Amino acid sequence: MDISIVIPVYGCPGAIPELHRRLVETLEGMGVSFEIIMVDDHDGMGSWEQVKAVALKDKRVKAISFTKNNGQDKAVSAGVNQACGDWIIPMDCDLQDAPEKIPILYDMALNGGNDVVFVRRQARKDSLMTRFLSRTFHKVFSYFTEISFDYELGTYLICSKRAADLYRESKDRGRDFTMFLVWLGFKHDFVEFEHEWRYEGKTSYTFKKKWDYAIKMMTTFSNRILYVPIRVGGIAVLASIAYLIYVLVGYLSGINNPEGWNSIIFAVFFFGGAILSTLGIIGIYIGNIFDMTKQRPLYVIQESINCDENDE
């Protein structure tokens, strides 16, 4: 198998037949063997019926349906677990990622000696607020994880089987495929594609979902965020010592202060800072233990078509 296309499906049932048609037309024109893996993330909008219909007509389409909504990263995980191709290409289901660009990705990966080719989205068709939040998150993410991440990168890319195998072996609960491939550091390249207009539907990422996802990704890829309370605590301790020096100087200079006020302020700042520092250190150890002990399945499959049950 040459190419596996992995498609998380949510909120765009009307796009599925057109997506399948354009994918088949493109891949058949390339003369490669391929499979298309569509994972329905339980959107309740009729997407599974469309995916199921396509899979029953075309045996090259593997269809998976979750028991509940688990998020795009889990849907990509399920698809990658089913993928048999030498090269894996994840893409969105709303046709903002043009299937006709796949030959360019494949050529850059195959002939360029790259394990990964990332797509930078040009002229993004997202709102100004979405672009602002995306840029802000990725700057903060890059700081906390010490991984340089381009906010123009999205789901669309191509990666080798060996890179996908490492992703499958990972036990992280945060399953962002693109971020994981950036973290791997394999030889890679970039290509710029124009971001297409959404064929159907609208984004399902509310501000709350984006916030929760950002926290999940930062705590998955780095423990550095746990050092924040330590630094805050350290600053508080230094501030309390500086205040104590100020009070002593004032006392020696004959400046009157309210009785008891100085000792209370010093105690609150000093012990508050010490507690924050201690909690930060404990948090680091608990975070490490927690990462090692989570054993729940990433997703549960309700129904599948044309799939290898051993890989579910």
Stronger pLDDT, 129 or 108, i.e. the higher one: 108
Would you say residue 291 has pLDDT above 70?
no
So what's the pLDDT on residue 187? 92
Residue 249 confidence class, pLDDT cut points 50, 70, 90: confident
Looking up tokens 């948090």 gives 283
Beta-carbon contacts of 9 under 8 Å, excluding residues fewer than 6 positions away, are 16, 38, 39, 40, 41, 43, 47, 48, 51, 75, 93
So what's the pLDDT on residue 189? 92
User: Bridge partners of 289?
Assistant: none
So what's the pLDDT on residue 242? 84
Would you say residue 288 has pLDDT above 70?
no
Would you say residue 1 has pLDDT above 80?
yes
Would you say residue 139 has pLDDT above 90?
no
- Using CA atoms, how far residue 28 sits from 56, 92, 293, in Å, is 19, 20, 45
Give percent of the chain above pLDDT 90.
Answer: 39
What is the spatial distance between Cα 3 and Cα 64, in angstroms, rounded to a whole number? Answer: 18
Interior angle at CA 86, CA 82 and CA 87, nearest 5: 85
HSE toward the beta carbon, residue 291, CA cutoff 13 A:
17
So what's the pLDDT on residue 154? 81
So what's the pLDDT on residue 153? 81
DSSP per-residue letters across 88-108: EEE--TTSSS-GGGHHHHHHH
Residue 233 confidence class, pLDDT cut points 50, 70, 90: confident
What is the spatial distance between Cα 101 and Cα 118, in angstroms, rounded to a whole number? Answer: 12
Looking up tokens 């893409």 gives 91
Strand ranges (E), 55-170: 61-66, 87-90, 116-122, 153-160
Would you say residue 310 has pLDDT above 60?
no
- Using CA atoms, how far residue 135 sits from 64, 106, 138, in Å, is 32, 28, 5
Q: Give the mean pLDDT of 116-139.
A: 72
So what's the pLDDT on residue 238? 83
Stronger pLDDT, 171 or 75, i.e. the higher one: 75
pLDDT tens digits, 9-32: 998 889 999 999 999 999 999 999
So what's the pLDDT on residue 243? 76
CATH for 3-221 (3.30.70.2190, 3.90.550.10, 3.40.1410.10, 1.20.1440.20):
3.90.550.10
Residue 199 confidence class, pLDDT cut points 50, 70, 90: low
Interior angle at CA 194, CA 167 and CA 108, nearest 5: 50
So what's the pLDDT on residue 302? 93
pLDDT tens digits, 70-106: 888 899 999 999 999 999 999 999 888 899 999 999 9
